[in-house]
């Protein structure tokens, strides 16, 4: 880890990367070592074939609004952003930008684009296309859910307010050079620009017919649209012949749209899908039938079930302004009473891991056990409950555990309820639909409830800043700690990589003591590839690597 971090510091501080085209571009695929270790001996890539992939109906496949996992999955095949993060090596690599420079205080980034790269309609990819795409993302008229990715860029607030149309911080120096000025130092910005929603778009194609572009985007990635998006049915992609990077083995991808994983899984069993999600309840049987991937990410015949970690956490949010839960001892007692292993094993069949921190494994700077009360210890829980003033739960009114219905959380809530009953805390559950639930969280009219958080980038900041900064809209615990607030601001300005990570780790520990949230489980993949697909990698951030897989038979 240490060595890797030092290498990373050097990278951020301005070492120009070379050999861009050799490295894997686009979707952050496996390295040579991973590939050779998990691919059956003697198998060589073969060309051809169409990969059938399960997705839910995406909200958007246009970079202007790539928010949820499904649209992003399609978008990353159609588009390349400036950089790409390789989750297997934990390193940022080049994509549409062959290299980049960073100024001394990490507030100005200069990207040198791959020369000669083309969009799917044959027009060249220029720095101006990035400027256009980023302005388009921030323009309120385009109603993007994800313009916040560019919040660090100078001029963002003005564009969002509608007073100006263009980000003052983004400039095309020439066709191949893009200069980005931030409004504050933010060395982690290199991670941000790996997101597919920050990919370039060709202005002419967009403005000719914006609706048509959203239904069949013209990108710069390894695959191009084959026809338009058939809503609720399918999205067909074919390989782009003029792609600047490594060409994929497969001829195309058919994203087949299903409403729920149960139906998709039936289709998989019928042989009509090459990759799908396994509905919980069928994971063990699927492992027995199809074999489990060695590294959890790479699917190969006979080793098809992917169970690697994801960058998401499932947690209970506690209302720190609630009359009863404002007592941190009680929050700690609740946290200690929950048998996370039982939840992971029974409800998720071992496909989720007990969480010991609000930060999931896979984030740069992750520490096991950073939340000290995130363990199952009935005696300690009882002691904490006594300390809170409720020995064996005496004097404690019935608590209400809120949850949104229909998301498959019922079993988890039932287990939490049973765990708390075991130490004398009576809990009733309150299921409402998402709209009503969200309102309760926003209004603070709840005691404790459940939420999930998915990382956009593999950095600690991506969890702690939105979730624990005072007044942040995502801070549903209404947690307020001036020490944490100032430490967060300081960490963002810290240029030295290891210093910064240490600062963030200290913040995580402080928050862990206060227990405004109770981590439950960290997500793992539960997906399966078909027996005809080789080397199909699903990265921790839920992106499939379409460039390195192949189909045989």
Partner 1 sequence: MAPDFFEDPRRRDIGQAAEEQTFGGSEALAETVVAGRGRTLRTDAWRRLRKNRLALAGLVWICFMIILAASADLWVPHFFGAPTAIDTSKVAQQSLLSPSADHPFGTDKLGRDILSRTIYGARVSLIVGVVAVAIMVVIGLILGAVAAYYGGWWDSIVMRTADVFFAFPYILFSIVLIALLGFGLQTVFIAIGVIGWPSIARVFRSSILSVKNNEYVDAARAMGASTPRILFRHIMPNAVAPIIVYGTMSIGGAILTEAALSFLGVGVQPPAPTWGNMLSEARSSLFTAPWLMLYPGLAILTTVLAFVLLGDGLRDALDVKLKE
Partner 2 sequence: MLTYIGRRILQMIPVFIGVTILLFILRAPGVLPGDPIKLITGERAISPALYNQIVKENALDKPLWYQYGRWMDHLFHGDLGESYQLKRPVADILIEKFPNTLKLALVAILIECFMGMAAGILSAVKRYSFWDVLVTLSTSILVSLPVFWLGMILQVIFGIKFKEWGLPYLPISGMTSADFPGWVHYVLPAVTLASISTAYAARITRSQLLEVMGQDYMRTASAKGLTGGQVIWRHGLKNALIPVVTYLGLDLGAMVGGTILTETVFNWPGIGFQIYRAILSRDWPIVLGAVVIIVILVMIINLLVDISYAFLDPRIRYGRVAK
Q: Partners of 53 in the beta sheet? A: 255, 275
Which helix H or strand E contains 232, and what residues bound it?
none
Q: Which does 294 bind (CB under 5 to 8 A by kind): partner 2, partner 1, none?
A: none
Q: Which does 395 bind (CB under 5 to 8 A by kind): partner 1, partner 2, none?
A: none
Residue of 139, 146, 188 lying closest to 166 (CA atoms): 139
Compute the chain's Rg from CA coordinates. Answer: 24
Which helix (H) or strand (E) is 399 found in, with range? strand 399-404
Residue from 294, 411, 442, 489 touching partner 1 (CB under 8 A): that is 411
Q: State the binding partner of 65 from partner 2, partner 1, none, CB within 5 to 8 A by kind.
A: partner 2
- Written as six digits, the tokens of 337 are 């009473």
Any idea of the CA torsion for 496, 149, 515, 359, to the nearest 10 degrees?
A: -60
Phi and psi based region of residue 222 (left: phi greater than 0; alpha: psi -120 to 50; beta: remaining) = alpha
Token pair for 381:
């829980």
Cβ-based nearer residue to partner 2, 246 or 269: 269
To which residue do tokens 């900064």 refer? Answer: 469
- Of 17, 50, 246, 431, which one interacts with partner 1 (CB under 8 A)? 431
Pairing of strands 550-551, 309-318: unpaired
CA distances in angstroms from 240 to 115, 118, 147, listed in the order given: 17, 10, 28
Instruction: Tell me which of partner 1, partner 2, none is bound by residue 342, counting a contact when its beta carbon lies within the kind-specific cut-off of 5 to 8 angstroms.
Output: partner 1
- Rule CB under 8 A: say whether 267 interacts with partner 1: no
| Residue 115 beta carbon to partner 2: minimum distance, rounded to whole angstroms | 35
Contacts with partner 2, residue ranges (CB under 8 A): 59-60, 65, 67-68, 140-141, 143-145, 147-148, 160-162, 211, 231-234, 254, 256-260, 263-264, 266-267, 269-272, 406, 432-439, 442, 451-453, 466, 472-474
Q: Which is nearer to partner 1, 47 or 284 (CB)?
A: 284
| Contacted by 431, from partner 2, partner 1, none: CB < 5 to 8 Å by type | partner 1
473: how many CB neighbours lie within 10 A of its CB? Answer: 8
If the CB atoms of residues 528 and 537 are measured against partner 2, the closer one turns out to be 528
Three-class DSSP category at 488: helix
Q: Which does 417 bind (CB under 5 to 8 A by kind): partner 1, partner 2, none?
A: partner 1
The interface region with partner 1, picked from 89-97, 220-228, 280-288, 487-495 by CB under 8 A, is 280-288
Are 83 and 192 in contact, with CB atoms under 8 Å apart?
no
Nearer to partner 1, 120 or 450 (CB): 450
**Which stretches of the chain bind partner 1, using CB under 8 A?**
262, 279-282, 284-285, 339, 342, 345-347, 405-406, 408, 410-411, 413-415, 417-419, 422, 429, 431-433, 435-436
């Amino acid at each position: 880890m240490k060595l890797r971090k030092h290498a990373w510091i050097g990278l951020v501080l301005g070492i120009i990367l070379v050999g861009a085209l050799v490295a894997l571009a686009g979707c952050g695929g496996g390295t040579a070592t991973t590939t050779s270790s998990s691919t059956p001996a003697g198998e060589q890539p073969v060309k051809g074939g169409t990969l059938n992939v399960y997705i839910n109906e995406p909200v958007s496949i246009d970079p202007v609004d790539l928010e949820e996992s499904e649209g992003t999955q399609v978008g990353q095949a159609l588009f390349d952003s400036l950089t790409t993060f390789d989750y297997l090596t934990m390193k940022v690599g080049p994509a549409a930008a062959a290299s980049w420079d960073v100024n001394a205080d990490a507030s100005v980034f200069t990207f040198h684009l791959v020369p000669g790269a083309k969009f799917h309609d044959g027009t060249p990819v220029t720095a101006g296309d990035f400027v256009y795409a980023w302005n388009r993302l921030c323009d309120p008229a385009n109603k993007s859910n994800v313009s916040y990715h560019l919040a660090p860029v100078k001029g963002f607030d003005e564009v969002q307010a509608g007073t100006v149309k263009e980000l003052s911080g983004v400039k095309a120096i020439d066709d191949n050079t893009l200069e980005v000025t931030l409004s504050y130092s933010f060395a982690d910005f290199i991670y941000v620009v790996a997101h597919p929603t920050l990919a370039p778009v060709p202005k002419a194609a967009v403005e000719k017919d914006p609706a048509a572009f959203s239904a069949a985007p013209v990108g710069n990635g390894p695959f191009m649209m084959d026809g338009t998006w058939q809503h609720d049915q399918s999205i067909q992609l074919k390989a782009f012949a003029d792609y600047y990077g490594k060409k994929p083995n497969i001829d195309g991808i058919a994203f087949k749209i299903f409403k729920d994983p149960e139906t998709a899984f039936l289709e998989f069993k019928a042989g009509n899908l090459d990759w799908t999600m396994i509905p919980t309840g069928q994971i063990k049987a699927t492992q027995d039938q199809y074999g489990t991937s060695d590294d959890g990410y790479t699917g190969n015949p006979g080793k098809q079930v992917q169970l690697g970690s994801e960058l998401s956490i499932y947690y209970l949010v506690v209302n720190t302004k609630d009359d009863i839960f404002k007592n941190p001892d009680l929050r700690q007692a609740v946290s200690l009473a929950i048998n996370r292993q039982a939840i992971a094993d029974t409800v998720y069949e071992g496909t989720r891991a007990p969480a010991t921190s609000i930060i999931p494994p896979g984030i740069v700077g992750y520490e096991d056990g950073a939340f000290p009360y995130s363990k199952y210890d009935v005696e300690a829980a009882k002691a904490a409950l006594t300390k809170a003033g409720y020995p064996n739960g005496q004097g404690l009114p019935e608590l209400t555990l809120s949850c949104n219905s229909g998301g498959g959380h019922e079993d988890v809530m039932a287990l939490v309820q049973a765990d708390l009953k075991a130490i004398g805390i009576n809990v009733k559950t309150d299921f409402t639909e998402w709209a009503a639930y969200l309102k309760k969280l926003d209004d603070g009219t709840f005691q404790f409830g459940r939420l999930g958080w998915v990382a956009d980038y593999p950095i600690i900041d991506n969890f702690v800043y939105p979730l624990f900064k005072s007044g942040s809209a995502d801070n549903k615990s209404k947690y307020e700690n001036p020490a944490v607030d100032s430490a967060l601001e300081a960490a963002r300005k810290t240029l030295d990589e290891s210093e910064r990570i240490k600062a963030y780790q200290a913040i995580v520990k402080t928050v862990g003591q206060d227990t405004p949230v109770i981590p439950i489980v960290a997500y793992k993949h539960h997906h399966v590839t078909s027996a005809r697909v080789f080397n199909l990698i699903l990265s921790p951030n839920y992106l499939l690597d379409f460039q390195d897989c192949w189909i045989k038979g």
